[in-house]
Amino acid sequence: MSTASSLPIVRTIGDLRQLVAGWRKEGHVVAMVPTMGALHAGHATLITAAAEGGARVVTSVFVNPTQFAANEDFGTYPRDEAGDVARIAPAGGHAVFAPGVAEMYPEGFATAISVGGPAEGLESDYRPHFFRGVATVVAKLLLSCLPDRALFGEKDYQQLLVIRRMVTDLGIPTEIIGHPTIREADGLAMSSRNAYLSPAERAVAPKLHQVLAEAAEAIRGQVPPAEALIAGNRTLDAAGFKVDYLELRNARTLAPVADTGAEPLRLLVAARLGKTRLIDNLAV
Ligand code: AMP
Protein backbone atom coordinates (compact mmCIF):
# COMPACT_ATOMS: atom_id res chain seq x y z
CA MET A 1 0.00 0.00 0.00
CA SER A 2 1.28 3.49 -0.83
CA THR A 3 -0.09 6.83 0.30
CA ALA A 4 -0.48 10.25 -1.28
CA SER A 5 -1.24 13.11 1.07
CA SER A 6 -2.18 10.45 3.68
CA LEU A 7 -4.74 8.80 1.35
CA PRO A 8 -3.98 5.08 1.15
CA ILE A 9 -3.69 3.75 -2.42
CA VAL A 10 -4.36 0.04 -2.46
CA ARG A 11 -3.38 -2.11 -5.46
CA THR A 12 -4.35 -5.63 -4.43
CA ILE A 13 -7.54 -7.29 -3.22
CA GLY A 14 -5.61 -8.68 -0.26
CA ASP A 15 -4.54 -5.20 0.87
CA LEU A 16 -8.07 -3.87 0.35
CA ARG A 17 -9.49 -6.62 2.58
CA GLN A 18 -6.91 -5.83 5.25
CA LEU A 19 -7.70 -2.11 5.16
CA VAL A 20 -11.45 -2.73 5.38
CA ALA A 21 -10.97 -5.28 8.19
CA GLY A 22 -9.14 -2.58 10.17
CA TRP A 23 -12.03 -0.16 9.67
CA ARG A 24 -14.52 -2.84 10.69
CA LYS A 25 -12.57 -3.51 13.88
CA GLU A 26 -12.87 0.19 14.69
CA GLY A 27 -16.64 -0.09 14.19
CA HIS A 28 -16.92 1.91 10.97
CA VAL A 29 -19.56 1.57 8.29
CA VAL A 30 -17.87 0.99 4.92
CA ALA A 31 -19.01 2.50 1.62
CA MET A 32 -17.69 2.09 -1.90
CA VAL A 33 -17.80 4.29 -5.00
CA PRO A 34 -16.69 2.36 -8.10
CA THR A 35 -15.33 4.59 -10.90
CA MET A 36 -13.17 4.48 -13.98
CA GLY A 37 -11.25 7.55 -12.83
CA ALA A 38 -10.90 10.87 -14.67
CA LEU A 39 -12.90 12.09 -11.72
CA HIS A 40 -15.12 15.15 -11.98
CA ALA A 41 -17.52 16.93 -9.64
CA GLY A 42 -20.17 14.25 -10.25
CA HIS A 43 -17.89 11.56 -8.86
CA ALA A 44 -16.86 13.85 -5.99
CA THR A 45 -20.52 14.31 -5.03
CA LEU A 46 -20.96 10.53 -4.90
CA ILE A 47 -17.91 10.21 -2.64
CA THR A 48 -19.21 12.95 -0.33
CA ALA A 49 -22.63 11.30 -0.18
CA ALA A 50 -21.01 7.91 0.51
CA ALA A 51 -19.18 9.35 3.52
CA GLU A 52 -22.36 10.71 5.10
CA GLY A 53 -22.87 9.60 8.67
CA GLY A 54 -19.16 8.92 9.13
CA ALA A 55 -18.70 5.93 6.80
CA ARG A 56 -15.22 5.04 5.58
CA VAL A 57 -15.23 5.34 1.77
CA VAL A 58 -13.22 3.32 -0.74
CA THR A 59 -13.20 4.85 -4.22
CA SER A 60 -12.12 2.37 -6.85
CA VAL A 61 -10.37 3.65 -9.97
CA PHE A 62 -10.19 0.99 -12.66
CA VAL A 63 -10.70 1.42 -16.39
CA ASN A 64 -12.30 -1.94 -17.00
CA PRO A 65 -11.17 -3.38 -20.34
CA THR A 66 -14.00 -5.92 -20.58
CA GLN A 67 -16.73 -3.30 -20.87
CA PHE A 68 -15.19 -1.81 -24.02
CA ALA A 69 -15.55 -3.38 -27.47
CA ALA A 70 -12.47 -3.53 -29.70
CA ASN A 71 -13.63 -0.46 -31.67
CA GLU A 72 -14.36 1.62 -28.55
CA ASP A 73 -12.28 4.06 -26.53
CA PHE A 74 -10.46 1.85 -23.99
CA GLY A 75 -7.06 3.00 -25.28
CA THR A 76 -7.90 6.69 -25.23
CA TYR A 77 -10.16 6.80 -22.15
CA PRO A 78 -8.80 9.65 -19.99
CA ARG A 79 -6.48 8.45 -17.23
CA ASP A 80 -5.13 10.75 -14.51
CA GLU A 81 -4.42 8.83 -11.33
CA ALA A 82 -2.57 11.68 -9.61
CA GLY A 83 -5.43 14.06 -10.39
CA ASP A 84 -7.97 11.49 -9.19
CA VAL A 85 -6.14 10.91 -5.92
CA ALA A 86 -5.98 14.68 -5.35
CA ARG A 87 -9.79 14.91 -5.75
CA ILE A 88 -10.75 11.99 -3.52
CA ALA A 89 -9.55 13.20 -0.09
CA PRO A 90 -11.19 16.67 -0.34
CA ALA A 91 -14.45 14.98 -1.39
CA GLY A 92 -14.37 12.95 1.83
CA GLY A 93 -12.91 9.64 0.58
CA HIS A 94 -10.62 7.57 2.75
CA ALA A 95 -8.84 5.23 0.35
CA VAL A 96 -8.31 4.50 -3.33
CA PHE A 97 -8.48 1.01 -4.74
CA ALA A 98 -6.56 1.17 -8.02
CA PRO A 99 -5.79 -2.39 -9.10
CA GLY A 100 -3.94 -3.28 -12.28
CA VAL A 101 -5.65 -5.33 -14.97
CA ALA A 102 -3.78 -8.48 -13.84
CA GLU A 103 -5.16 -8.12 -10.31
CA MET A 104 -8.75 -8.00 -11.56
CA TYR A 105 -8.27 -10.48 -14.42
CA PRO A 106 -5.43 -12.83 -13.49
CA GLU A 107 -4.23 -15.30 -16.09
CA GLY A 108 -6.88 -17.91 -16.80
CA PHE A 109 -9.77 -15.67 -15.72
CA ALA A 110 -12.85 -17.28 -17.31
CA THR A 111 -15.96 -16.07 -15.49
CA ALA A 112 -18.58 -13.55 -16.55
CA ILE A 113 -21.87 -12.40 -15.09
CA SER A 114 -24.67 -12.03 -17.58
CA VAL A 115 -27.70 -10.07 -16.38
CA GLY A 116 -31.06 -10.22 -18.16
CA GLY A 117 -34.08 -8.05 -17.31
CA PRO A 118 -33.01 -4.40 -17.14
CA ALA A 119 -29.81 -5.16 -19.10
CA GLU A 120 -31.83 -6.03 -22.19
CA GLY A 121 -32.28 -3.39 -24.90
CA LEU A 122 -31.24 0.29 -24.88
CA GLU A 123 -27.44 0.28 -24.26
CA SER A 124 -27.24 -3.45 -24.99
CA ASP A 125 -28.56 -2.89 -28.50
CA TYR A 126 -25.56 -0.68 -29.26
CA ARG A 127 -22.94 -2.09 -26.83
CA PRO A 128 -23.80 -5.80 -26.53
CA HIS A 129 -20.65 -6.54 -24.51
CA PHE A 130 -21.16 -3.70 -22.05
CA PHE A 131 -23.27 -4.94 -19.13
CA ARG A 132 -21.49 -8.28 -18.99
CA GLY A 133 -18.25 -6.38 -18.46
CA VAL A 134 -19.79 -3.98 -15.96
CA ALA A 135 -21.64 -6.66 -13.95
CA THR A 136 -18.58 -8.87 -13.72
CA VAL A 137 -16.21 -6.12 -12.61
CA VAL A 138 -18.68 -4.56 -10.17
CA ALA A 139 -19.40 -7.95 -8.62
CA LYS A 140 -15.67 -8.51 -8.16
CA LEU A 141 -15.17 -5.02 -6.71
CA LEU A 142 -18.05 -5.48 -4.26
CA LEU A 143 -16.89 -8.96 -3.24
CA SER A 144 -13.34 -7.67 -2.76
CA CYS A 145 -14.47 -4.86 -0.46
CA LEU A 146 -17.81 -6.12 0.94
CA PRO A 147 -19.02 -2.58 1.66
CA ASP A 148 -22.23 -1.92 3.57
CA ARG A 149 -23.30 0.34 0.73
CA ALA A 150 -22.15 1.33 -2.73
CA LEU A 151 -23.12 4.45 -4.64
CA PHE A 152 -23.84 4.66 -8.35
CA GLY A 153 -24.97 7.62 -10.43
CA GLU A 154 -28.37 7.88 -12.09
CA LYS A 155 -26.39 9.37 -14.98
CA ASP A 156 -25.93 5.71 -15.98
CA TYR A 157 -29.51 4.81 -15.18
CA GLN A 158 -29.70 1.44 -16.93
CA GLN A 159 -26.39 0.45 -15.33
CA LEU A 160 -27.77 1.36 -11.89
CA LEU A 161 -30.79 -0.94 -12.43
CA VAL A 162 -28.56 -3.72 -13.78
CA ILE A 163 -26.32 -3.54 -10.71
CA ARG A 164 -29.31 -3.53 -8.35
CA ARG A 165 -30.68 -6.61 -10.15
CA MET A 166 -27.35 -8.43 -9.98
CA VAL A 167 -26.75 -7.63 -6.30
CA THR A 168 -30.26 -8.82 -5.41
CA ASP A 169 -30.00 -11.96 -7.54
CA LEU A 170 -26.57 -12.98 -6.25
CA GLY A 171 -27.23 -12.03 -2.62
CA ILE A 172 -24.28 -9.65 -2.42
CA PRO A 173 -24.70 -8.05 1.02
CA THR A 174 -24.33 -4.44 -0.13
CA GLU A 175 -27.03 -1.80 -0.33
CA ILE A 176 -27.00 -0.12 -3.75
CA ILE A 177 -27.73 3.60 -3.57
CA GLY A 178 -28.50 5.66 -6.67
CA HIS A 179 -27.44 9.31 -6.71
CA PRO A 180 -29.06 12.00 -8.91
CA THR A 181 -27.12 13.19 -11.94
CA ILE A 182 -24.76 16.11 -11.40
CA ARG A 183 -24.87 18.58 -14.28
CA GLU A 184 -22.87 21.48 -15.61
CA ALA A 185 -24.53 24.90 -15.28
CA ASP A 186 -25.92 24.54 -18.82
CA GLY A 187 -27.52 21.18 -18.07
CA LEU A 188 -24.97 18.83 -19.66
CA ALA A 189 -24.55 15.75 -17.48
CA MET A 190 -20.98 15.62 -16.19
CA SER A 191 -19.02 12.78 -17.76
CA SER A 192 -15.38 11.85 -18.16
CA ARG A 193 -16.13 11.55 -21.89
CA ASN A 194 -17.13 15.23 -22.14
CA ALA A 195 -13.38 15.87 -22.38
CA TYR A 196 -13.53 14.41 -25.92
CA LEU A 197 -15.88 17.18 -27.14
CA SER A 198 -14.49 19.95 -29.37
CA PRO A 199 -15.49 23.48 -28.32
CA ALA A 200 -18.18 23.51 -31.03
CA GLU A 201 -19.54 20.10 -29.90
CA ARG A 202 -19.41 21.19 -26.26
CA ALA A 203 -21.59 24.17 -27.15
CA VAL A 204 -24.22 21.87 -28.71
CA ALA A 205 -24.03 19.07 -26.11
CA PRO A 206 -26.51 20.59 -23.57
CA LYS A 207 -29.25 20.10 -26.21
CA LEU A 208 -29.35 16.49 -25.09
CA HIS A 209 -30.63 17.46 -21.65
CA GLN A 210 -32.87 20.19 -23.08
CA VAL A 211 -34.58 17.68 -25.35
CA LEU A 212 -35.18 15.33 -22.42
CA ALA A 213 -36.61 18.17 -20.34
CA GLU A 214 -38.89 19.31 -23.17
CA ALA A 215 -40.10 15.79 -23.93
CA ALA A 216 -40.74 15.14 -20.22
CA GLU A 217 -42.77 18.31 -19.95
CA ALA A 218 -44.74 17.49 -23.10
CA ILE A 219 -45.52 13.96 -21.85
CA ARG A 220 -46.59 15.33 -18.46
CA GLY A 221 -48.84 17.72 -20.40
CA GLN A 222 -50.58 14.76 -22.10
CA VAL A 223 -48.79 15.04 -25.46
CA PRO A 224 -48.71 11.45 -26.79
CA PRO A 225 -45.22 10.03 -26.02
CA ALA A 226 -44.62 8.95 -29.64
CA GLU A 227 -45.17 12.54 -30.75
CA ALA A 228 -42.89 13.99 -28.07
CA LEU A 229 -40.16 11.49 -28.99
CA ILE A 230 -40.40 12.28 -32.72
CA ALA A 231 -40.02 15.99 -31.92
CA GLY A 232 -37.03 15.24 -29.69
CA ASN A 233 -35.37 13.11 -32.36
CA ARG A 234 -35.87 15.90 -34.91
CA THR A 235 -34.33 18.52 -32.62
CA LEU A 236 -31.32 16.31 -31.95
CA ASP A 237 -30.85 15.50 -35.65
CA ALA A 238 -31.01 19.20 -36.51
CA ALA A 239 -28.41 19.99 -33.84
CA GLY A 240 -26.00 17.47 -35.40
CA PHE A 241 -26.48 14.46 -33.09
CA LYS A 242 -26.72 10.92 -34.40
CA VAL A 243 -29.33 9.43 -32.10
CA ASP A 244 -28.88 5.79 -31.02
CA TYR A 245 -32.10 5.83 -29.01
CA LEU A 246 -34.51 8.23 -27.34
CA GLU A 247 -37.06 6.20 -25.43
CA LEU A 248 -39.68 6.34 -22.74
CA ARG A 249 -39.50 3.38 -20.37
CA ASN A 250 -40.85 2.11 -17.08
CA ALA A 251 -38.48 3.67 -14.53
CA ARG A 252 -38.31 0.55 -12.37
CA THR A 253 -38.00 -2.21 -14.98
CA LEU A 254 -37.05 -0.36 -18.18
CA ALA A 255 -39.83 -2.25 -19.92
CA PRO A 256 -41.52 -0.38 -22.78
CA VAL A 257 -44.37 1.70 -21.46
CA ALA A 258 -47.90 0.34 -21.72
CA ASP A 259 -49.78 2.98 -19.75
CA THR A 260 -48.17 6.38 -19.17
CA GLY A 261 -50.65 7.12 -16.39
CA ALA A 262 -49.91 4.06 -14.31
CA GLU A 263 -46.14 3.77 -14.40
CA PRO A 264 -43.20 5.73 -13.07
CA LEU A 265 -41.56 6.88 -16.30
CA ARG A 266 -38.01 7.58 -17.39
CA LEU A 267 -36.75 9.07 -20.62
CA LEU A 268 -33.41 7.68 -21.76
CA VAL A 269 -31.21 8.90 -24.58
CA ALA A 270 -27.91 7.96 -26.22
CA ALA A 271 -26.55 10.01 -29.08
CA ARG A 272 -23.26 10.59 -30.81
CA LEU A 273 -21.79 14.01 -31.39
CA GLY A 274 -18.82 13.60 -33.72
CA LYS A 275 -16.79 10.76 -32.21
CA THR A 276 -18.22 11.17 -28.71
CA ARG A 277 -21.12 9.06 -27.49
CA LEU A 278 -23.19 10.75 -24.78
CA ILE A 279 -25.97 9.28 -22.64
CA ASP A 280 -28.49 10.96 -20.38
CA ASN A 281 -31.89 10.31 -18.80
CA LEU A 282 -34.63 12.08 -16.90
CA ALA A 283 -37.60 11.20 -14.72
CA VAL A 284 -40.92 12.22 -16.26
P1 AMP B 1 -17.61 6.29 -14.42
O2 AMP B 1 -16.28 6.65 -13.90
O3 AMP B 1 -18.06 7.14 -15.55
O4 AMP B 1 -17.74 4.81 -14.67
O5 AMP B 1 -18.65 6.62 -13.28
C6 AMP B 1 -18.48 6.11 -11.98
C7 AMP B 1 -19.74 6.35 -11.19
O8 AMP B 1 -20.01 7.75 -11.14
C9 AMP B 1 -20.97 5.69 -11.85
O10 AMP B 1 -21.81 5.20 -10.83
C11 AMP B 1 -21.60 6.84 -12.58
O12 AMP B 1 -22.99 6.69 -12.78
C13 AMP B 1 -21.31 7.99 -11.62
N14 AMP B 1 -21.37 9.26 -12.34
C15 AMP B 1 -20.69 9.62 -13.46
N16 AMP B 1 -21.05 10.85 -13.86
C17 AMP B 1 -21.99 11.28 -12.98
C18 AMP B 1 -22.77 12.47 -12.86
N19 AMP B 1 -22.67 13.46 -13.73
N20 AMP B 1 -23.64 12.55 -11.84
C21 AMP B 1 -23.77 11.54 -10.95
N22 AMP B 1 -23.07 10.40 -11.01
C23 AMP B 1 -22.19 10.26 -12.01
Domains of the chain: 2-179 (3.40.50.620), 192-283 (3.30.1300.10)
Read off the pLDDT of residues 70-102 as tens digits, 9 standing for 90 and up: 999 999 999 999 999 999 999 999 999 999 999
Q: How far is CA 23 from CA 61, 94, 146, 174, 240, in A?
A: 20, 10, 12, 16, 50
Helices (H), 30-156: 41-50, 81-91, 101-104, 123-126, 130-145
Specify the pLDDT at position 276: 95
- The answer to whether the pTM exceeds 0.85 is yes
Average pLDDT, integer, range 242-255: 97
| pLDDT over 60 (residue 25) | yes
- Are the C-beta atoms of 57 and 51 separated by less than 8 Å? yes
- Tell me the average pLDDT across 258-263: 80
Listed in sequence order, the residues at least 6 apart from 27 whose beta carbon sits closer than 8 Å to its beta carbon are none
Tens of pLDDT, residue by residue over 121-170, are: 999 999 999 999 999 999 999 999 999 999 999 999 999 999 999 999 99
Q: What is the mean pLDDT of residues 111-122?
A: 98
Ligand 1 pocket, residue 152 CB under 6 Å:
yes
132 lines ligand 1 (CB under 6 A): no
Look at residue 1 and tell me whether its pLDDT is greater than 70: no
For the annotated catalytic residues, the residue numbers are 43
Shortest-distance atom of ligand 1 to CA 155: 12
**How far does the centroid of ligand 1 lie from the alpha carbon of residue 5, in Å?**
24
Other Cβ atoms closer than 10 A to 62: 19
Say what percent of the chain tops pLDDT 70.
98
Cβ(50) to ligand 1 under 6 A?
A: no
234 against 258, higher pLDDT: 234
What separation in Å is there between the alpha carbon of 153 and the centre of ligand 1?
5
- Whole-angstrom Cα distance, residue 222 to residue 38? 41
* Alpha helices in the chain, H assignment, sequence order: 13-25, 41-50, 81-91, 101-104, 123-126, 130-145, 157-170, 199-204, 207-220, 225-239
What's the confidence (pLDDT) of residue 4?
52
Region 96-117 average pLDDT: 98
Q: What integer is the mean pLDDT of 192-209?
A: 97
Out of 134, 156, 163, mutate this one to test ligand 1's pocket (max ligand atoms within 8 Å of CB): namely: 156
In one-letter notation, the amino acid at residue 235 is: T
Atom from ligand 1 closest to the CA of residue 39: 2
